[in-house]
Structure 1
Amino acid sequence: MKTIVVCLFALFAVVLAKPKEFYTDRWDSVDIDSILANRRLLNPYILCILEEGKCTPEGKELKSHIRDAMQTDCAKCTPVQKAATERVIAHLLKHEHESWNKLTAKYDPTGAYTKAHHDQLKSLAA
């Protein structure tokens, strides 16, 4: 009986100790604000994500995770990535509405994400 209890506690400890899976943090140091402040830098990322232009390594990485991040509410995002995502969305809503519409048409065609996060998106757009 003691052996079973010890094994259960050991299994429980292993499950709790397993690190959460995150997207790579390799690009977390990218200066998002300087990209958002310069349309010449921002536009290639938008075109990459829309599959209308070439992609930098950062753009490829971002594009590869968009659907999963939307479907899981960014569960695998690092805190830096969550904060950057909010800044990017706020910028697109305020200054790049046409690009936002194209991105949502491509990645949220049913409007599920937009509907689920309506209040949050509204506050970011303010």
Structure 2
Amino acid sequence: MSLAPQTFTITRADLVAYAAASGDQNPIHQDEDVARSVGLPGVIAHGMYTMALAARAVATWFPGAEVVSFGCKFTSPVVVPAEGGVDLVVTGETKGESEGLTTVALTVTCDGTKVLGMPKAVVRA
């Protein structure tokens, strides 16, 4: 079963707040010059923040459910412009249910590019 797409807009202010909450103050997430100096196309979102937004989508699709596992690979950076934001789109499809567990295959994209590889969640409703 396909699940309704969810869109999250990521701004530079979100990156500052996530850095404060997580303790990850790496300047590639806040400073354009530093990000470009290490070969990035610009300031990028924290990979774990991107993953957390995908997990938020799962929690929205399955309110009150226990997330038993969640995993992915980081495959492409999410470049966040200085002004406005960038949209992260999370789609999902249930792949099976067994013993009260539901497996959800996710697709997480930004500007049409997959940014997480093999994202998958298992939930217990």
Q: Which category describes the TM-score, using the shorter chain as reference length? A: under 0.3
Relative to total residues, which structure has the larger strand share, 1 or 2?
2
Scaled by the length of structure 2, the TM-score of the pair is: 0.23
How does the TM-score come out when normalised to structure 1? 0.23
Task: Name whichever structure is richer in helix by fraction.
Answer: 1
Larger CA Rg, structure 1 vs 2: 1
